[in-house]
Amino acid sequence: MSEPLFAGLVMDEKDQVVDVAHIGNEAMYVVNDAGFHRHIPAEHVDRQVLALMKEQITGHEDLISEQTAKMLGQDDIFSRAIIDNQLKNIDQQLEQLLKTGIPEAGRAYMGMMGFKVVINFHGDVIRLDQPSATSDEGDE
């Protein structure tokens, strides 16, 4: 059975962590709606989150590949080309992520960094909170 991609990182509108359950082989996020437990297919929520993340990447591929290469200590033309290629194939990367999932330790780290998905009881993503790089602008 697959686990939801963002298990432990999804909250309801009242800032309560959403439970995870399985119906057959399908993973569900379970939202407590005043005592009524609404089961929402996890893939529905996970795909919305990935679409929002893809939206933020699109148009910023050059900056992302440059900063990623620097973070990895591999700021050369070949490393950037590899990273650029991965970003160009982002749809394939996201599909693979849905299949393999995020390890529990990775999700725990994301939570510690402030990553949080807020959904309503219909399973619509209301808000996506995620850490961002601090800006040096305006500190001069």
Read off the pLDDT of residues 16-45 as tens digits, 9 standing for 90 and up: 999 999 999 999 999 999 899 999 999 999
7: phi then psi, degrees, rounded to nearest 5: -55, 130
Query: What pTM does this model have?
Result: 0.81
Q: Is the pLDDT of residue 9 over 70?
A: yes
Read off the pLDDT of residues 109-129 as tens digits, 9 standing for 90 and up: 999 999 999 999 999 999 999
Give the start-to-end residue ranges of the domains of the chain: 10-129
Average pLDDT over residues 92-114: 92
Token readout for 15 is 């800032």
